[in-house]
Structure 1
Amino acid sequence: MKKLTLTSEALFDPQTAAPVRRRGNRESRVPEIIDVSINVLIAAGYAGYTINRVANDAGIRLSTLQHYFSTREALLRATIEEIANRYFERFRGFAENRSRSPQARLESIIDEAFTGFAKTGLLAGVIESWGLAQHEPFARDVAMEVQKRFTRLFAQLVGEINPELSMEERELRGALIVSSCEGLVIFLRWSEDDASRLHAFRKAVKVVWSGIGKAGE
């Protein structure tokens, strides 16, 4: 047998070397996994949700997924936090837009609720998160913390509309608006009303929220 010589060029020639699947880093892989996880939660519901399906739909091994999220609870926690955060950041963008009056900002959030809630499948993810919170303490803790964040956001906006209100009253009214917003999630998820009826309902919500913000103590 003739002597076989392999050069380093031959070993590492990109044209001849076998392709190697690159591992994603945390910055890119985690958001990808959470996106898939959201889709699984929406499609399968919290009762049918499994990390095996998330791994399969993401095209990765279960062990790879567990490198980033060791348990179903850890991944679900990150998933429902991300769902809430997407809505929160969108609402905060309107609430903190100082180029508009506080009242106009409040009304823009209502407009966003009607257009955003109605057009995105993420709404189903919100409802599934609430269903999970009925059965899993960790999900209930997340839901309560999310509710507090939204309450503070609206309380701050109410305070700008009506500066004479006490902090306690602002918090109360912020909570009232949050409860109304949560009702909108349910209403819009299954509403079969036509565009004209939804428009009228949107105007009515603006009247209600405006009254909550402007009324004296």
Structure 2
Amino acid sequence: MTSKPTNANPMIGAWRLSTREGAGRYQTGRDRVAQILDVALEVILESGYQALTLREVARRCKIQIGAVTYYYRSRTDLLQDVLNMVLVPYAENLSKIQTAPGVTAEQKLEGIIRMLLEDIRTRQTTGLFPHLWALANHDPFVAKAVDSIYILERLRLSPLIGELNPRLGPQERETLAMFVVASVAGSTIFVGFEKPWTSELPLYTAIACRSLVELVKTVTPAQLESYGWRPRDRRSTWKPPTLLDADDYQALVAGSGIQTPA
């Protein structure tokens, strides 16, 4: 892919990763962009997003600042490609699980939960995402980026939830998908890289798979209502809460290539 990202659009999506304008034609340009992104990620992992500047990236790359600004006009622009770089293999692994032939929906859901938990024990995920969560409270760009990341995860989970539990409507499916995602992401502070419970990840994963898969398979709207939830009028259209405007949300869904249930 060699098209230039649309910098006016703050959405994040793994399929949007591309080399910057001026880099696609020559290998040296692609290598330079890869070096810049690797160094930018390392800065974030070591010192947080507040330490990420174009000048610091240039210093660590041992190049002139102009060699960085040729591709990236701001650190926000740079962060977008860093996130996309991180998400590419992540999204590919999710897609492989979801589209694997001869595998049941239950096995796919368990596979996704296991993959997400295994991923949060890496230095990259443990170091990067807590920075993003904190920054999302103050930075609108990062807030939308984080929202986009988890929208994409829910889009992977919702069809599986619908297949496993056809009694659930769109609102219940996606909210349950959000709960699964939040349950796994929130585990980072306990079983993430070099965290106190990292050694217990196999048992923790077994508990998470048992509880989350069973919840998805068995929960009913009536049970949810018994705990105080009141469903919307089925004749009205429910839309997932998001920080993105309607056009950006639709573009994110369309660009992901993920087939969504009605």
The TM-score bracket by the shorter chain reads 0.7 to 0.9
Query: Which structure 2 residues correspond to residues 59-70 of structure 1 after superposition, within 5 A?
Result: 59-70=62-73
State the Cα distance separating 1:144 from its structure 2 match: 0.9
More helix by share: 1
Question: Matches of 1:94 and 1:186 in 2, distance apart?
Answer: 25
The question of 1:174 aligning with 2:177 is answered yes
The question of 1:160 aligning with 2:141 is answered no
Amino acid at match of 2:100: N
State the Cα distance separating 1:95 from its structure 2 match: 2.5
Deviations along 1:4-29, one digit per CA (max 9) or x if unpaired, are xxxxxxxxxxxxxxxxxxx8554433
Query: Which structure 2 residues correspond to residues 173-212 of structure 1 after superposition, within 5 A?
Result: 173-189=176-192, 191-193=195-197, 195=199, 197-212=200-215
The question of 1:138 aligning with 2:141 is answered yes
State the Cα distance separating 1:114 from its structure 2 match: 3.2
Comparing 23-32 with 206-215, greater Cα deviation is found at: 23-32
Which residue in 2 is equivalent to 1:13?
none
Aligned partner of residue 186 in structure 2, secondary structure: helix
Query: Which structure 2 residues correspond to residues 1-217 of structure 1 after superposition, within 5 A?
Result: 25-189=28-192, 191-193=195-197, 195=199, 197-215=200-218, 216-217=220-221
Asked if structure 1 preserves the Cα contact closer than 8 Å seen for 2:120 and 2:188, the reply is yes
State the Cα distance separating 1:35 from its structure 2 match: 1.7
Asked if structure 2 preserves the Cα contact closer than 8 Å seen for 1:81 and 1:142, the reply is no
Asked if structure 1 preserves the Cα contact closer than 8 Å seen for 2:114 and 2:205, the reply is yes
Amino acid at match of 1:130: W
Which residue in 1 is equivalent to 2:246?
none
Asked if structure 1 preserves the Cα contact closer than 8 Å seen for 2:191 and 2:198, the reply is no
Higher relative contact order structure (alpha carbons within 8 Å, sequence separation ≥ 6): 2
Deviations along 1:72-114, one digit per CA (max 9) or x if unpaired, are 2211222234334443332232223233111111212222233
Among all aligned residue pairs of Structure 1 and Structure 2, give the percentage whose two residues are the same amino acid. Answer: 23
State the Cα distance separating 1:66 from its structure 2 match: 0.6
Point out 4+ residue stretches in structure 1 off by more than 6 angstroms: none
Amino acid at match of 1:192: P
Aligned partner of residue 155 in structure 1, secondary structure: helix
Instruction: Mark the runs of 5 or more structure 2 residues left unpaired by the alignment.
Output: 1-25, 222-262
State the Cα distance separating 1:185 from its structure 2 match: 2.3
Question: Matches of 2:29 and 2:211 in 1, distance apart?
Answer: 45
The alignment covers a number of residue pairs equal to 194
Question: Matches of 1:167 and 1:130 in 2, distance apart?
Answer: 26
State the Cα distance separating 1:46 from its structure 2 match: 1.5
Asked if structure 2 preserves the Cα contact closer than 8 Å seen for 1:77 and 1:138, the reply is no
State the Cα distance separating 1:124 from its structure 2 match: 0.7
Question: Matches of 2:140 and 2:201 in 1, distance apart?
Answer: 36
Asked if structure 1 preserves the Cα contact closer than 8 Å seen for 2:190 and 2:197, the reply is no
TM-score by length of 1: 0.79
State the Cα distance separating 1:191 from its structure 2 match: 3.2
Deviations along 1:152-195, one digit per CA (max 9) or x if unpaired, are 11112212222343222211111111111211223222632364
Asked if structure 1 preserves the Cα contact closer than 8 Å seen for 2:117 and 2:184, the reply is no
Asked if structure 2 preserves the Cα contact closer than 8 Å seen for 1:46 and 1:128, the reply is yes
Asked if structure 2 preserves the Cα contact closer than 8 Å seen for 1:36 and 1:58, the reply is yes
Amino acid at match of 2:97: F
TM-score by length of 2: 0.66
Structure with greater Cα Rg: 1
Amino acid at match of 1:151: R
Amino acid at match of 2:195: S
Asked if structure 2 preserves the Cα contact closer than 8 Å seen for 1:84 and 1:126, the reply is no
